[in-house]
Amino acid sequence: MLLPSVDSPLLPARHTQEKQCTLCMDSETSPCDTFGEIKFVRQNSWPENEKPYVLTYLPNDNFPLTNFDFEDVRNVPIKDMRPIKDELSLDCEGFVVADFASALTYDELFEEEKLRAVFANELRKFWKDRYGVKAIYIHECVVSPSVDKGLGQ
């Protein structure tokens, strides 16, 4: 996954629209907030004759997994967006936060066949019902072999 560079016009510091988006509003840090680190693509850190890439598999012959450098931005405030989820919009913020219940159990979310057979159809129905989309194409449903279900256990 490529993230915009720190200097990129793709990274909106402030919206210039008449209606300012919810996430751009200045606010005090709430007790629910935390801080984290975000990795950005370092501008022009890849060869001029190539597009930036990240491989999601281990290549042969010591081929590099990526052809660019990252820049870490530390102590980024991370806000709890659940209280304002109904104020967010695809048109303004470019994403939404939504409640989504699946029939799958936590362990079943790591089974590719169940992702394809159940979860993908649940996602299609959710997007059609909530946003009125006409067609949805899900490119793939895969579980990375490096995924640790226990997150450190």
Whether 128 is covered by a domain: the verdict is: yes
CB atoms within 10 A of CB 83: 11
User: Which phi-psi region, left, alpha or beta, contains residue 118 (left: φ > 0; alpha: ψ -120 to 50)?
Assistant: alpha
Query: What pLDDT sits at residue 30?
Result: 60
CB atoms within 10 A of CB 76: 11
Whether 127 is covered by a domain: the verdict is: yes
Query: What pLDDT sits at residue 131?
Result: 87
Whether 67 is covered by a domain: the verdict is: no
**Mean pLDDT of all residues in 27-36:** 70
CB atoms within 10 A of CB 120: 15
- What range defines the domain where residue 140 resides? 100-147
Whether 137 is covered by a domain: the verdict is: yes
- Rounded Cα distance, 19 and 131, in Å: 21
- The owner of tokens 């194409």 is 137
Whether 118 is covered by a domain: the verdict is: yes
Whether 51 is covered by a domain: the verdict is: no
Q: Percent of the chain, pLDDT > 90?
A: 40
Query: What pLDDT sits at residue 56?
Result: 83
Q: Output the pTM of the full model.
A: 0.53
Whether 134 is covered by a domain: the verdict is: yes
What domain count does the chain have?
A: 1
Q: Residue 28 — very low, low, confident or very high, per pLDDT cuts 50/70/90?
A: low
- Rounded Cα distance, 1 and 110, in Å: 20
